[in-house]
Amino acid sequence: MNIPATRKDLMVVNMGPHHPSMHERVEGVGIIGREEVINWGLSGPMLRASGIQWDLRKVDQYECYDEFDWEVQWQKEGDSLARYLVRIGEMIESIKIIQQALEGIPGGPYENLEIRYFDREGNPEWNDFEYRFISKKPSPTFELPKQELYVRVEAPKGELGIFLIGDRSGFPWRWKIRPPGFINLQILPQLVKRMKLADIMTILGSIDIIMGEVDR
């Protein structure tokens, strides 16, 4: 399928018949420029909707993403509509990745462990101490080397990073999680300046935060 030439065509492809009211509510609302999105440290669809083709699955080539045929979804306008189109495009690309992964699974016997669990649900063995308190068992311990480590992945909302500082003990001296939603939300006060009250929910929705990440 050829890539549609205009954003209106993209909306028709992704949503069906054109919705003028939605198009009017999101186009040109909450614009973030290319330099702004970099200076604010935004990531994920927020970054790619402002004309920057940056996806950690392509940049870092972790796991097996480089073995699949898929494209980074991006737009250049930087408004709420652009962020919406990027996310819709990423859903389509995710389906492509899943289909390729399914085709690559080798044949052979398999076992449905959930059915096995339900078959044994009435067995008193599954209700004894070991099974009911399996989560209470202590985790295996290992020594963290004395060094700093930062690992990042491309999460649905943007760059999710884990920062660790070890001191040769079983617990990190410092452990910091970088949630993309917390970083992306910081630009909201600037985006809602001189905007209509009804536009605030549109802009907030286009940022697509998770409350567990921003409630700090």
Does this model's pTM top 0.75? My answer is yes
Give the type of residue at 31.
I
What is the pLDDT at residue 20? Answer: 77
The number of beta carbons lying within 10 Å of the beta carbon of residue 205 is: 14
Does residue 38 belong to any structural domain of this protein?
yes
Does residue 113 belong to any structural domain of this protein?
no
Over residues 177-184, the mean pLDDT reads: 94
Using CA atoms, how far residue 132 sits from 29, 42, 94, in Å, is 52, 43, 37
Give the type of residue at 124.
P
Using CA atoms, how far residue 58 sits from 65, 97, 127, in Å, is 7, 13, 46
Is the pLDDT assigned to residue 12 strictly greater than 70? no
Domain tally for the chain? 1
Over residues 49-76, the mean pLDDT reads: 96
| Segments forming the whole domain that contains residue 99 | 7-104+181-214
What does the alpha-carbon distance between residue 214 and residue 204 come to, in Å, rounded to a whole number?
13
What is the pLDDT at residue 8? Answer: 61
Does residue 37 belong to any structural domain of this protein?
yes
Is the pLDDT assigned to residue 51 strictly greater than 50? yes
Does residue 170 belong to any structural domain of this protein?
no
What does the alpha-carbon distance between residue 185 and residue 189 come to, in Å, rounded to a whole number?
9
Phi, psi of 159 (to 5 degrees): -75, 120
Does residue 112 belong to any structural domain of this protein?
no
- DSSP element (H, E) containing 150: strand 148-155
Does residue 147 belong to any structural domain of this protein?
no
pLDDT tens digit sequence for 116-159: 666 665 555 555 555 444 545 566 677 888 999 999 999 999 99
**Partner residues linked to 153 by β-bridges:** 160
Percent of the chain with pLDDT over 70: 78
Look at 5-9, 106-110, 129-133 and tell me which has the smallest mean pLDDT. 129-133
What is the pLDDT at residue 136? Answer: 52
Classify residue 151 as exposed, middle or buried by CB count within 10 Å of its CB (0-12, 13-18, 19+).
Answer: exposed
Is the pLDDT assigned to residue 54 strictly greater than 80? yes
pLDDT tens digit sequence for 80-106: 999 999 999 999 999 999 999 999 988
